[in-house]
Amino acid sequence: RTSMRASRAAISAAAQRMGMSTFGNSAAQKTRTPRLRKLKRAAYGVALGGAAYTGWLMYRNRNPATQEPFDPSKKTLVLLGTGWGSTTVLKNLDTENFNVVVVSPRNYFLFTPLLPSCTVGTIENRSIMEPVRLLMRHKNREVKFYEAECTDIDAASKQLTLERRVDADGNQVAAGEGEKTRISYDYLVVGVGGTVNTFGTPGVEQHACFLKEMGDARKIRRRLMDSVESASFDDISEAERDRLLHMVVVGGGPTGIEYAGELHDFLVDDLTQWYPELADRVRITLVEALPNVLPAFDKKLIDYTQSTFKENRITILTRTMVKEVGEKSFV
């Protein structure tokens, strides 16, 4: 009897412990369940809020508010150019304080760091062109835009002479032959940028391609494809074929390095499939007057760039200056 009582007591204690354990697990599960529900609700709320905010931004971008008209009592501020400097000024300018006028021969902002990618079709041209009127439309007060060149600044009378270089049919006209107009200003911001420095090298402007504007990228792509197509003809000499397939990049700065890399990727990825008989004959040469490429960057990056170019058979000529550029050769 004593043994049976002890057994019953042990079984009862074990059952109580099991019941307490089950109760504890159930309580912990009940505690965790509301927490998971709260996290899910919070995640849904964040996602819904983000979607609503994105939709609101898209609506505001497509449907800007009504702008206030020009105020004759306020002074006029004229911005020359639509590059990095002028666009930054326009973006941060409070039009409540001024009547703003923008003058530029191009009606868009160009994201120039991606310009080398446009020369080989990696990026569509329109992807790096932002209409300046889109930025102007979201200002509180109306902003006027003149697609023209400023040919004269009269600081004494505070007047600008503008010349439109495009006729009624959209064709370019020579300097001095376009339609002219004059506008007044109180404040003038000049951000027209600069021209390409040829260092006085003969033949550069006549025979070389620059890489500064979107028109330059289109010209490079057109000449690149024309050269490859001409090299595919059977009735040309092997020396002429090698010349047509030799691409020379002058300048070992960031733009020259990036363009040489983009050109190599284009020739390897696309030209190999389109012109398999010509792919192995293409040569790329980078010319730099200084002792090494990327002189303003860290030595590790310089060494990595040079070793990568060497692996990809891109010839680098340092301490080499171009003296003259001809139609089919350079010195």
282 — phi, psi (to 5°)? -75, 135
Q: Is the pLDDT of residue 5 over 70?
A: no
pLDDT single digits (tens) 291-322: 999 988 999 999 999 999 999 999 999 999 99
Q: Which residues, other chains included, contact 168 with Cβ-Cβ below 8 Å and sequence gap of 6+?
A: none
Q: Detail the DSSP E strand segments found in the chain.
A: 76-80, 99-104, 108-110, 129-131, 143-147, 149-154, 159-164, 179-184, 187-190, 246-250, 283-287, 314-317
Cβ count within 10 A of residue 158? 15
Q: Is the pLDDT of residue 169 over 90?
A: no
For residue 23, the model assigns a pLDDT of 46
Tell me the pLDDT band of 277, cut-offs 50, 70 and 90.
confident
Tell me the pLDDT band of 182, cut-offs 50, 70 and 90.
very high
- The pair of structure tokens assigned to 217 is 């990228």
For residue 44, the model assigns a pLDDT of 83
For residue 189, the model assigns a pLDDT of 95
- The pair of structure tokens assigned to 93 is 């300018």
Winning range, highest mean pLDDT, from 26-40, 74-88, 256-270:
74-88
- Are the beta carbons of 152 and 92 closer than 8 angstroms? no
DSSP 47: H
Query: Beta strand pairing status for 143-147 and 99-104?
Result: parallel
Percent pLDDT > 70 in the chain is 87
For the range 255-259, what are the long-range contacts, defined as Cβ-Cβ under 8 Å and sequence gap of 24 or more? 255/115, 255/116, 255/211, 256/286, 256/288, 256/293, 257/286, 257/293, 257/294, 257/305, 258/116, 259/116, 259/119, 259/211
Report how far apart, in Å, the C-alpha atoms of 91 and of each of 79, 111, 144, 148, 208 are. 12, 15, 14, 21, 35
Q: Which of residues 4 and 181 earns the better pLDDT score?
A: 181
285 — phi, psi (to 5°)? -125, 130
| Residue listed under structure tokens 């059977």 | 234
Average pLDDT over residues 150-174: 83
3-state secondary structure string, 210-228? CCCCHHHHHHHHHHHHHHH
pLDDT single digits (tens) 35-90: 777 787 888 888 888 888 888 777 777 777 788 889 889 999 999 999 999 999 99
In DSSP notation, 165-200 reads -B-TTS-B--TTSSEEEEEE-SEEEE--------TT
pTM (predicted TM-score): 0.77
CA distance 246 to 268: 14
CA distance 307 to 25: 63
Q: ∠24-29-33 over CA atoms, to 5°?
A: 155
For residue 278, the model assigns a pLDDT of 87
pLDDT single digits (tens) 140-160: 899 999 999 999 999 999 999
For residue 7, the model assigns a pLDDT of 52
Low-confidence winner among 159-168, 217-226, 258-267, 281-290 (lowest mean pLDDT): 159-168
pLDDT single digits (tens) 89-133: 999 998 989 999 999 999 999 999 999 999 998 899 999 999 999
DSSP bridge pairs for 152: 161
